[in-house]
C-alpha cells in the first residue's frame, strides 16, 4: 500500500495458496485498497469478476473458504501488529517479524532458515527506520543469531530471538 506521500506500507506477507484480490468475488465492485507484490518467480490463478462470480454461485464453498481465510488471517495479523506497535521495542518487533516470516516464507537451508527479505521490507513491516533494522541485524550477526545477505536474512539460531 502507498501513502499519500508515496511511502510504501507492508500490510501482510502472503504465502503459497493464499487468496488476494478477493473483492472480485463480491457482487458490488469495490476499489482495491492495497496491491500485491511478488518477491520470487510465482504463478497465480486469475479470474475476471464475471467468471469468479459464476464459480462462486456453483461452488459456494469457494466463497466461504476464501473469505474466512482472508478475514481471519488479516484480523489476526492486524491485532498482532497493533499490539506489537504499542508494547514492543524495535528489536522485539524485528525479531517477531523475522520469526513470523521464517514460518511463512522461509526456506530451510543447511545453515538455517533463509528469509528473502531486505532491510527496507523489515523496516516497513515493523515501523522502524532502515538504520535501526541494520543496527539490530548487525548486532545479531555479531552474536551469531543471524547472517545478513543482499535481500535476505538467514536465521542461524531463531530460538535466541524468542528469548
Judge if 34 and 61 occupy the same domain.
yes
pTM: 0.64
Which residue has 495458496 as its cell numbers? 17
Helix (H) or strand (E) segment spanning residue 148: strand 146-149
Distance CA 90, CA 72 (A): 26
Average pLDDT estimate for 99-108: 84
Judge if 37 and 102 occupy the same domain.
no
Judge if 76 and 100 occupy the same domain.
no
Do β-strands 146-149 and 113-115 pair in parallel, antiparallel, or remain unpaired?
A: unpaired
Q: Work out how many domains the chain is built from and give that number.
A: 2
Judge if 121 and 140 occupy the same domain.
yes
Is residue 85 within 8 A of residue 127, CB to CB? The reply is yes
Classify residue 17: in a domain, yes or no.
Answer: no
Question: Domain range spanning residue 45?
Answer: 22-85
Q: Is the pLDDT assigned to residue 153 strictly greater than 70?
A: yes
User: Could you read off the pLDDT of 19-68 as tens digits, one per residue?
Assistant: 777 777 777 777 666 777 777 788 888 888 888 889 888 988 887 877 77
pLDDT given at position 156: 95
pLDDT given at position 2: 65
| Cell triple for 81 | 501488529
Percent of the chain whose predicted confidence (pLDDT) is above 70 = 78
Classify residue 1: in a domain, yes or no.
Answer: no
End-to-end CA distance of the chain: 32
Judge if 154 and 100 occupy the same domain.
yes
Amino acid at each position: 500500500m502507498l501513502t499519500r506521500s508515496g511511502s510504501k506500507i507492508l500490510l501482510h506477507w502472503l504465502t503459497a495458496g493464499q487468496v488476494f484480490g478477493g473483492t472480485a468475488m463480491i457482487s458490488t465492485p469495490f476499489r482495491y485498497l492495497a496491491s500485491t507484490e511478488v518477491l520470487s518467480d510465482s504463478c497465480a490463478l486469475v479470474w475476471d469478476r464475471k467468471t469468479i462470480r459464476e464459480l462462486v454461485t456453483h461452488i459456494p464453498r469457494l466463497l466461504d473458504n476464501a473469505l474466512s481465510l482472508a478475514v481471519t488471517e488479516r484480523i489476526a495479523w492486524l491485532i498482532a501488529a497493533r499490539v506489537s506497535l504499542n508494547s514492543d521495542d524495535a528489536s522485539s518487533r524485528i525479531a517477531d517479524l523475522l520469526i513470523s516470516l521464517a514460518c511463512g516464507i522461509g526456506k530451510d537451508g543447511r545453515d538455517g532458515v533463509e528469509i528473502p527479505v531486505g532491510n527496507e521490507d523489515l523496516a516497513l513491516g515493523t515501523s522502524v527506520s532502515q538504520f535501526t533494522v541494520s543496527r539490530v541485524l548487525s548486532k545479531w550477526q555479531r552474536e551469531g543469531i543471524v547472517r545478513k545477505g543482499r535481500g535476505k536474512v538467514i536465521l542461524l539460531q531463531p530460538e535466541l530471538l524468542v528469548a
